[in-house]
Amino acid sequence: MERSTRVSVFESDKPAEIQLIKSKLDDANITNAVENSYLTFTTTPTATSLKVMVKLEDEKKAFEVIDAYLQQNENQ
């Protein structure tokens, strides 16, 4: 079984924002997954950071999709 390398392309502590990015990547046919991780010890112990992970070979395309979304939101 071949194992592919996965990289983080977007991080946020807002689940709604993560879901929006995940759906944009789904629409672009980019396989992705969301991972939870605790933030550093300087924050509250219950605070979590959500990461959207994609295959390494999809990283460039994923960043293009995310950048387009962020620029569109910035102009509103």
C-alpha to C-alpha distance for 21 and 1, rounded to whole angstroms: 29
What is the pLDDT confidence band of residue 73, given thresholds at 50, 70 and 90?
A: confident
Under 8 Å between Cβ of 8 and 53:
yes
C-alpha to C-alpha distance for 12 and 69, rounded to whole angstroms: 15
Predicted TM-score (pTM) of this structure: 0.81
Q: Which domains does the chain have, with CATH numbers?
A: 6-74 (3.30.70.790)
> How many CB atoms are located within 10 Å of the residue 73 CB?
10
Computed from CA positions of residues 65, 63, 3, 51, in that sequence, does the dihedral angle turn out positive or negative?
negative
C-alpha to C-alpha distance for 25 and 19, rounded to whole angstroms: 10
Instruction: Output the pLDDT for position 74.
Output: 82
What is the pLDDT confidence band of residue 20, given thresholds at 50, 70 and 90?
A: very high
